[in-house]
Copies of this chain bind each other. A is one copy, B any other.
């Protein structure tokens, strides 16, 4: 199995843990050894294993826990680290995410998650000269 497919499976496991509200599965996905962080949509960065996992526990236990689906995931592997870009479909809204993984004890484990709102008319194509806003 290629490393890209392994990473995409780890990425799918992340969204499955959210869909099934499985806090244990979520915790198992994150690195134990590396520094970790997380940026939820509209929020500032959260640093540290306890804080990141705490934010996901709060999310999974919340009555407003989102029912989201992952789409158009693309894996980029660089040695023992990888990042995935993908869409998150939530109640008609579309977000775009970066998920970063490192290979640890034979498994791909998350070290960072950054999710943000996608503009209303943003097909997944390559634009030669986008009107950038940053």
What residues of chain A have their CB less than 8 Å away from a CB belonging to chain B? Answer: 31, 34-37, 39-48, 51, 54-55, 58-59, 62, 64, 66, 68, 74, 76-81, 83, 85, 87-88, 90, 95-98, 100, 102, 111-112, 114-119, 122-134
**B residues in contact with A74, CB < 8 Å:** 37, 45, 47
Copies in the complex: 2
**B residues in contact with A81, CB < 8 Å:** 78-81, 102
Q: Is the CB of A126 within 8 A of B36?
A: no
Smallest CB–CB gap between A99 and chain B, Å? 10
Q: Which of B41, B83, B115, B128 contacts A111 (CB 8 A)?
A: B83
Q: Is the CB of B132 within 8 A of A62?
A: yes
The answer for the CA separation of A25 and B28 in the assembled complex, in Å, is: 40
The answer for the CA separation of A98 and B116 in the assembled complex, in Å, is: 11
